[in-house]
Structure 1
Amino acid sequence: MENSNSSEGTPNATCNDSEGPRWLFVAGYALISVTGLLLNLTALAIFYRHPKAACSHTTVYMTNLAVADLLLVLTLPTRIYQYSGARLSPGLCEAAGLVLLVNMYSSIFLLACMNLDRCLAVCFPLSSRVKAWRKRTPLVCLGVWTLTVGASLPTYLIKKTGGGGQQGGQCSCLDSLPVYATQPAAIGATLSVGFGIPLGSMLLCSWCLLRALRRSAAVQMGLVKGRKIRNMMAVNAVVFLLCFLPYHCLLVAIYLQVSGPRLLEWYQASLLIACSNTTLDPLVYYFTTQTFKDTMAVGKMRAFHSQSSDEQKRGASVPLNSWGGGQEGGRVPLNS
């Protein structure tokens, strides 16, 4: 995955010196900082005080997501400081860029894992393998953190060893296009593993959940409000696409060397939108906890019907002379 916030630009990159967008970025990051800090601290406090408000597996995912958002929020003052006209040290700039990159892809993978976990619980309620996999939620989250940090660090280590020097030093931190977005290996890994696979997983899981809702007896009997579950899936999809799709579209434009006077400003705006996920993720927490019981009820109803069907099949296959408590191994004598 490439550096989302490189301190150097492409060879033909121009610096962003316009005052209008800079002050818009200052206002945007300030709003995200205050709102994201309050919402995520509140979410963590609720998760800590009410650990069983939702299923423990889902709570683990949401807690990790809130921690990732909070870490990003704590670095946003450096962006406000930079866009206000000051200059950050290269090391501090790189650290802030690394946290943004880790947060972005941690959020992508955690949202995808939450959807996959919910889908498996509903569609395969009786599977012992699914139950065993769901118990490994902490290990899944550890794997997400390891993947995102491990995939982001090489970009910065390469730059430190001279893999990508600043182009003439004419652009300050945050004011240039990412040079690594022009490399085929980096852009390919980012668009496929970092965005494409999680997006495909979320779409597939949403389709499976909608299919399960249409066939659910609990929904048809009015025991579960299918509309609430659909709203939950819609919020998850909107947050995912709204926050992360613009950034990856801009990476494609940079890789294809699309020229335009506003390309840098659009790229910077896409980073601002990506950071806004710290304020939108609490919506995911709200809808997830509000609809969790209904979603699990669909899975339990599917499990109940599966058990009933299995019992009926087993009953139909039992020989007639095996019923009853008669003599000779349960067989009923003819003269009885």
Structure 2
Amino acid sequence: MGTVISVSNRKESADVKSSVNMSNNTTHCPNVSTYEFNIFAVCTYSFISIVGLIFNLMALAFFFRHTKSRSQTIVYMTNLAIADTLLILTLPMRIYHHLGFTGLPQWLCDALGLVLKANMYGSIFLLTCICFDRCVAVSFPMAERVQKGRQKAPLICLGVWLFTFGASLPIYFSKLKENSNVTCYTCFESQPVYSTQPVVVSVTLFVGFGIPFVIMLICSWGLLRAVQQSTVAQTSLVDSRKIQRMVAASLLIFLLSFLPYHATLLFLCLHKNNISSSMLTAYQYSLIAACLNTVLDPIAYYFTTETFRRNVDISAVQRMFLLNSQSSEMGNRSRVPNSS
């Protein structure tokens, strides 16, 4: 009789523990209003999806069409356009979510988040490679060792892809394991629990943002210094002010795109025990700013490339509309009866 009672007590205690574990999992769900219509997110993500996709597809069409004149910088730009395009392809599901629709499986949300973050950091590293390649190309134009090193651009791009996705896959599988015991799902509105851990934030800020930004600063200074000291810069063949504006625009775009996101990650890490809905909203908007980089990259890099502007005549579209408007005006004038 005593054994029967003890067995039943053990069973009841096990049930109590399982219910407590379920309640703990449930309480870890962030208190945010999910599945609500967010007009700002919908409009911004739609703008990024349409404009960014058009710009990057134009760049890819040009890069793959002119393979014979492909330089090391063009190799980095091609991979940057691919990374930006892959990031943009994840945005329609975010638009679907912010429109207020439900039913997205959690594994799909995690997979899309993986692709977005991997390509975002891939863009950061590729932007750093472009800045470094421009600096050494101008500073050491005749160094044979430097030129041989620049020819390894495809291998460097392959290393960037392997590093970004290789570092992101463990996060994805750990999320799958955690979500198997969680009873509530919040998809894109959820708190970035893994990304706000102190160790992860330290590595992310140092490797994913700090080192690339310092390299870009040093290379930008070296590029401007090399241009100013060159004899060609003293002539009218090189517009040093134009190069200065290009360098300043590249650094400004980098900061505006990626500084808010990493600053928000640090803020969430410091206040991870008391995260409010406004903090999560700030995190979502900082992620939108990071995604906006896919539209700014073509403007700062592709469309400022001399070879690109020579072969892609964007003003032809404007001339086409002007001709159409002039022909319509002439047609309207021909329909007006002569009163004389």
TM-score range, shorter chain: 0.7 to 0.9
For the residues of structure 2 that align with 1:9 and 1:249, how far apart are their CA atoms?
28
**2:228 alignment partner in structure 1:** 214
Residue of structure 1 aligned with 2:249, choices 212, 232, 235: 235
Q: Which of residues 7, 15, 38 in structure 1 aligns to 2:54?
A: 38
Distance (whole Å) between structure 2 residues aligned to residue 81 and residue 107 of structure 1? 25
Q: Structure 2 counterpart of 1:257, which letter?
A: H
Instruction: Give the counterpart of 1:192 among 194, 202, 206.
Output: 206
Deviation readout 1:219-249 (Å, 9 max, x if unpaired): 1223211011112212211221111111000
Q: What is the match of residue 98 of structure 2?
A: 83
CA contact (8 A) 2:195 2:201 kept: yes
Is 1:252 the counterpart of 2:269 in the alignment?
no
TM-score by length of 1: 0.78
Q: Match for 1:29 among 36, 45, 60?
A: 45
Letter in 1 for 2:33: N
Which secondary structure state, in structure 2, belongs to the residue aligned with residue 181 of structure 1?
coil
In the alignment, the residues of structure 2 paired with residue 291 and residue 225 of structure 1 have an alpha-carbon distance, to the nearest angstrom, of: 16
Tell me how far apart the structure 1 counterparts of residues 180 and 227 of structure 2 sit (CA, whole Å).
Answer: 54
| Contact residue 232 and residue 291 of structure 1 kept, 8 A | no
Query: Percent of pairs identical after alignment?
Result: 51
Q: Deviations over 1:30-76 (max 9, x none)?
A: 111111111111111111223356x5111111110111111111111
Partners of 2:249 and 2:224 in 1: CA distance: 14
Q: Distance in 2 between matches of 1:129 and 1:67?
A: 29
**Where does the alignment leave 5 or more consecutive residues of structure 1 unmatched?**
1-7, 293-336
Query: Which residue of 2 is the match for residue 13 of structure 1?
Result: 30
1:214 Cα deviation after fit: 2.3
Listed as ranges, the matches of 1:1-336 within 5 Å are 11=28, 13-17=30-34, 19=36, 22-51=38-67, 56-87=71-102, 88-162=104-178, 169=184, 171-257=185-271, 259-286=275-302, 288-290=304-306
Structure 1 residue 126, shift from structure 2 partner: 2.4
The superposition leaves residues 99-123 of structure 1 with CA deviations (integer Å, 9 ceiling, x where unpaired) of 1101110100000000001111111
For 1:83, give the aligned amino acid: H
**Contact persistence 1:69–1:278 (CA under 8 A):** yes
Match in the other structure for 1:296: none
May I ask how many residue pairs the two structures share in their alignment? Answer: 282
**Where does the alignment leave 5 or more consecutive residues of structure 2 unmatched?**
1-24, 309-340
Secondary structure of the corresponding residue to residue 85 of structure 1: coil
Q: Following TM superposition, by how much is the alpha carbon of 1:125 offset from its aligned partner in structure 2, in angstroms?
A: 1.9
**Alignment partners' CA distance in 2, 1:286 and 1:10:** 48
The structure-2 alpha-carbon separation of the partners of 1:9 and 1:175, relative to structure 1 and needing over 3 Å to count, comes to farther
Cα distance in 1 for partners of 2:127, 2:145 equals 21
1:10/1:167 contact within 8 Å kept:
no
Q: TM-score, normalised by structure 2?
A: 0.77
- Cα shift readout 1:5-34 (whole Å, capped 9, x = no counterpart): xxx9994832134957x1211111111111
| AA partner of residue 49 (structure 2) | S
Q: What is the Cα-based RMSD across aligned positions, in Å?
A: 2.4
Matched to 1:155, the amino acid is I
Structure 2 CA distance for partners of 1:155 and 1:18, relative to 1, 3 Å: closer
Contact kept in structure 1, 2:36 and 2:99, CA below 8 Å: no
CA distance in structure 2 between the partners assigned to 1:10 and 1:175 by the alignment:
15
Using CA pairs below 8 Å that are at least 6 residues apart, which structure has the higher relative contact order? 1
CA contact (8 A) 2:110 2:175 kept: no
* Cα separation, 1, equivalents of 2:218 and 2:296: 22
